[in-house]
Structure 1
Amino acid sequence: MIEGIFQRLTAILQKGIELSWLRQNLISANIANAETPGYKPREIDFEGEMKRFLSEGELRPLRTHPLHLPLPGEAAPQVFPKRGWAVTPDENGVDLEEEMAELAENYLRYTSLVQFLRRQLGMLRYSIREGGTF
């Protein structure tokens, strides 16, 4: 029983870390293209993707780059044009201040998830090492 709970929690944390990493790449691409004429900023719906993952009830792999080979049973997150972006005269919709704020927020989310996963793995390591001694 505890095994299943631990596996599920680890899978949820891993999915969150993978989605945060993908979001970090998208935000970085948006920032890098802040002065590219015609560039449309992109994003993923982190919360929506996590809800979808939790509702599926199965552990599935995630392809983090479109050029990676497809994995069996994978559910690729949807990347879409950012909502509510304003077009500038050069038809670029990147708001650099907004992107930097999202970058900081995503960094905090990512580091929090990684720290929580490290704690979970630390507890497992402790249980393995000390579990046999009373």
Structure 2
Amino acid sequence: MAINLDKLVGFHQSALAIRTDRMEVIAGNLANANTPGYKAKDIDFNKAMKSAVRSSSGKPAASDSQMMRTHENHLSGSSSSVASNFDMQYRVPLQPDTGDGNTVEVQAERNRFLDNSLRYQASLTFVNGKIKGMKKALGSGGQ
């Protein structure tokens, strides 16, 4: 019987990739907290997971689109980033504009980064447990 690792950790692998992309977006928001006119962005995790599950099951996502190549030397336009598979969303600030047009709320972004990091760690711990369980099953089954 063949072991399918995608079935074992596929969902969590997608979750980890999306969480990684989201951490990059939030870190970019924090890095631009003092940039006039910068608009805070975010990734809708639920929407991204639905898109990832659809693409892993072979169903085309509503936002999937292919770029047409007009020359064989052109890049394909595909990206390994999960976040590039859907539109980035701009965050609506809770506090009034300070006058420079920047919508980054530093404390809220730090909280989102921390929450995302904890969820990333939980997914990583879950995947690690699955792999340890599989190794244990393979080790005891061969004796």
Same fold (TM over 0.5): yes
Letter in 2 for 1:97: Q
Letter in 2 for 1:27: I
- Separation (CA, whole Å) in 1 of partners of 2:122 and 2:115: 11
Which structure has the larger Rg over C-alpha atoms? 2
The answer for the alignment partner of 1:22 in structure 2 is 21
Query: May I ask how many residue pairs the two structures share in their alignment?
Result: 123
The answer for the alignment partner of 1:87 in structure 2 is 97
Query: Following TM superposition, by how much is the alpha carbon of 1:76 offset from its aligned partner in structure 2, in angstroms?
Result: 1.7
For structure 2, list consecutive stretches of 5 or more residues without a partner in the other structure: 60-76
Q: What secondary structure is seen at the aligned counterpart in 1 of 2:42? A: strand
Q: Report the identity percentage.
A: 25
Change (3 A) 1:59 1:15: farther
The answer for the alignment partner of 1:131 in structure 2 is 141
1:78-117 maps to which residues of 2 (within 5 A)? 78-82=87-91, 84-85=92-93, 86-117=96-127
Kindly provide the CA deviation profile for residues 3-44 of structure 1, in whole angstroms up to 9, marking residues without a partner as x. 45x522411100000000000001101001000001001111
TM-score by length of 2: 0.73
Change (3 A) 1:114 1:77: farther
Query: Following TM superposition, by how much is the alpha carbon of 1:51 offset from its aligned partner in structure 2, in angstroms?
Result: 2.2
The answer for the alignment partner of 2:57 in structure 1 is 58
The answer for the alignment partner of 1:70 in structure 2 is 78
Kindly provide the CA deviation profile for residues 43-91 of structure 1, in whole angstroms up to 9, marking residues without a partner as x. 110011112333455279xxxxxxxx6269x872432212x22533111
Would you say the 8 A contact 1:36–1:92 is kept in 2?
yes
- Separation (CA, whole Å) in 1 of partners of 2:124 and 2:31: 25
Letter in 2 for 1:89: G
For structure 1, list consecutive stretches of 5 or more residues without a partner in the other structure: 61-68
- Separation (CA, whole Å) in 2 of partners of 1:43 and 1:7: 27
- Separation (CA, whole Å) in 1 of partners of 2:15 and 2:118: 12
After superposition, the CA RMSD in angstroms is 2.8
Report whether the alignment pairs 1:119 with 2:118: no
TM-score by length of 1: 0.78
- Separation (CA, whole Å) in 1 of partners of 2:79 and 2:109: 31
